[in-house]
Every structure is written in C-alpha cells, then in structure tokens.
Amino acid sequence: VADQPHQESYDLYGARTGNCLRAAIALSEAGVPFTPRAVDLRTREQRGPTFMALNPSGQVPVLVQRLGSGAKGFVLSQSVAITLYAAEYTPGGLLPLDVNARFKVLEAYFYFVADVIGLNGVAFALKGDGFGEAAQSLTRRYLARLTRGERFISEHGFMAGDRFSIADIAAFTISSAVAEDVPWTTLPRLADWRDRIAERPSVQRGMHLFDKTT
C-alpha cells in the first residue's frame, strides 16, 4: 500500500460489533477514505448470496477497495488484517517504523487480539450453545488477562509505545465491549488510559459508525 499513490476509495461493510469497530477506528485514524456500509445481522444479511460473494465466511467486517473507475478492487476480511492494512496505508502511523518498537506494539496487539478477544469470542459462542459454565470459566480468564494488560501501558500513556497504535485499538474495543464486567475502580491506570483513548476523534468516529445497526 505504502508505495502507491492513494487514488482509490473503500467501503467498510460492518455492524455495531467489536470486530467491526476495531477496523473502523483503524481506518479512520489512518486517514483511509472509506464509506461505512451497514450489514443487518438481525436479518442475516451477512449470509445472503450478495454478501457471501464478498466474504464466503458470511461475516463482517469486510473492506472493499473501489478503484478510480468505481470497480471493485482488493477485498479483505478479518478485522485483524484490516487493522494491519490501515497501519500499512499510512506508514509510521499506527505502527512504528523502528523494528524493535514495531514488534513491542505487535506483542501487545496480539496479546489483546489472541489472548483476550479470541477467548471472548469463544466464550460468546459457548454461551450461545448453552454451555454456560464453560463460558463463565473462559470469561473469568479473559477478564483477568484484560486487566493484566494494564502492564502494557507505557509512560507515555499508550499501550506499548509512545503514541497511539493498533495495540490501543485492540485493547480499547474489547475493554468497551466488556466494560460492565471490568472492576475499573481497582484499575486506575487502565481507567485513565481508557478515558483518554475514548476522546480521540478517530475513536469517537469509529465507535459510532454503525450505531444504527446491530
């Protein structure tokens, strides 16, 4: 992405879910010109033939590149990949250019993505399938990991670095999704970090992008 002039625009297909909000914040912060396209999960629009042609997994988010002519270009699913794509779009923005600094951000990013968000997704599925006890056990585990994630907050007030990055985006979206279950008063550094991140314009835009859908 980095060495191409940006002539294209993008559509972000999504709904008001953590995975979509993560992609929306990253694209907003990176200055990617994109239009939100709401997908109605209540009517299972994501499993209809039109959407399945875009993403055979039948899931949001999906990023679609529009070429200058308006024709469909590159199509990308997976919020984690879309977030990294946004980082690549504006080099040195959401991911530091310095290799060591970049991998410290990636370390925190994958901690929240794999060890917290991944478990949250499995707990959600287990609950839906009627395995309440197993879901609760996983929930305790990912909440403990989320609160331990406080250790990544740097002296600059961001996750694993001296500026806002994809690690902040991953940590913020899951913190918001499970906010009611986090003992914020016992975690002043995490609460302070959350309040500051919430004020960022890109975070506010991304968090409210799909407000009218589920």
Ligand X SMILES: N[C@@H](CCC(=O)N[C@@H](CS)C(=O)NCC(=O)O)C(=O)O
Does 79 interact with ligand X (rule: CB under 6 A)? yes
Pairing of strands 72-77, 34-38: unpaired
Does 46 interact with ligand X (rule: CB under 6 A)? yes
Residue with smaller CB distance to ligand X, 63 or 153: 63
Cα separation, 40 vs 42, whole angstroms: 5
Question: Which stretch, 58-66, 144-152, 157-165, 179-187, contacts ligand X (CB under 6 A)?
Answer: 58-66
Query: Residue 57, Cα to own-chain centre: how many angstroms?
Result: 18
CB 87 within 8 A of CB 28: no
Question: Which stretch, 52-60, 93-101, 137-145, 166-174, contacts ligand X (CB under 6 A)?
Answer: 52-60
User: At its nearest, how many Å lie between ligand X and the CB of residue 69?
Assistant: 28
Nearest residue to 34 via CA among 2, 3, 4, 61: 61
Does 84 interact with ligand X (rule: CB under 6 A)? no
Handedness of CA 200, 205, 211, 214 (dihedral sign): negative
Does 173 interact with ligand X (rule: CB under 6 A)? no
Does 41 interact with ligand X (rule: CB under 6 A)? yes
- Which residues sit at the interface with ligand X, rule CB under 6 A? 17, 19, 41, 46-47, 58-61, 78-80
